[in-house]
Amino acid sequence: MSLKHAILGFLNLKPLSGYDLKKAFDQSVRHFWPANQSQIYRTLAQMVEEGLLEKEIIAREERLDLKIYQISPKGQAELQRWLATPLPTSENREPFLIQIFFGGQLSDEALLHLLHEQLKMAEERLQVYEAIYQANQAKASQASDPRALFLSMLTLAYGKKGDQALLAWLREAIEQIENKNYTF
């Protein structure tokens, strides 16, 4: 389960509450591993049971107890093991491609509409990636660990390259359909 390992990855940097973890996901890995709140809490409980984490309960008057999770030695070992183990390709599902695949049953207009919508979304996503990229580039010179920063930025570069390829594909597809050029 990758969610578990992503949590271990964050907690190995520093102890966090469930709430903080959710923010950490949303601010970084959500583009390739969205995590939802209720699932985080459930998984955290499970991981404590498995001995991967330790839970520290901080009582506060008049407020909910704050629960801080720390990685255990067993958790660190598991993280190291998992991080170094090559994974089989993840089988990604692309419902959009099902639409294209069966596009023979659709008019040119409907088809082009689908493609233009994808184009719009990919463009917007790419702009978001570029903005994050540049913001980090500005801070790069003061980074305490340039190698770690570089690696985290690699995941962004992956997103950018992927979107650029998608855009090129979409534009070509649109043009071919418009010209009724069905060669491939």
Partner DNA sequence: CTGTCCATGTAAGGCGTTACATGATTGT
Partner DNA sequence: ACAATCATGTAACGCCTTACATGGACAG
**Ranges within 66-125 binding a copy of itself (CB under 8 A):** 79-80, 82-84, 86-106, 110-111, 113-114, 117-118, 121-122, 125
In the chain, % helix, strand, coil (3-state, to 5) comes to 70, 10, 25
Output the smallest distance, CB 170 to DNA, in A. Answer: 24
Does the footprint of DNA cover residue 19 (CB under 7 A)? Answer: yes
Site string for a copy of itself, 132-171 (x = CB under 8 A): -x--xx--x----xxxxxxxxxxx-xx--xx-xxx-xx--
Supply 32's token pair: 């390739």
Supply the DSSP string of 103-121, one letter for each residue. GGGS-HHHHHHHHHHHHHH
Strand order from edge to edge, sheet including 16-17: 16-17, 66-71, 53-58
Site string for DNA, 64-83 (x = CB under 7 A): xxxx----------------
Among 36, 127, 152, 176, which residue sits at the site for DNA (rule: CB under 7 A)? Answer: 36
Decide if 37 contacts 29 (C-beta within 8 A). Answer: no
Span interacting with DNA, options 39-47, 76-84, 136-144, 158-166, rule CB under 7 A: 39-47
Decide if 44 contacts 7 (C-beta within 8 A). Answer: yes
Q: Which residues contact 32 (CB under 8 A, 6 or more apart)?
A: 155, 158, 159
Does the footprint of a copy of itself cover residue 131 (CB under 8 A)? Answer: no
Binds 125: which of DNA, a copy of itself, none (CB < 5-8 Å by kind): a copy of itself
Does the footprint of a copy of itself cover residue 14 (CB under 8 A)? Answer: no
Residues between 93 and 112 with contacts to DNA, criterion CB under 7 A: 93
Cα dihedral across residues 128, 132, 133, 138: positive or negative: positive
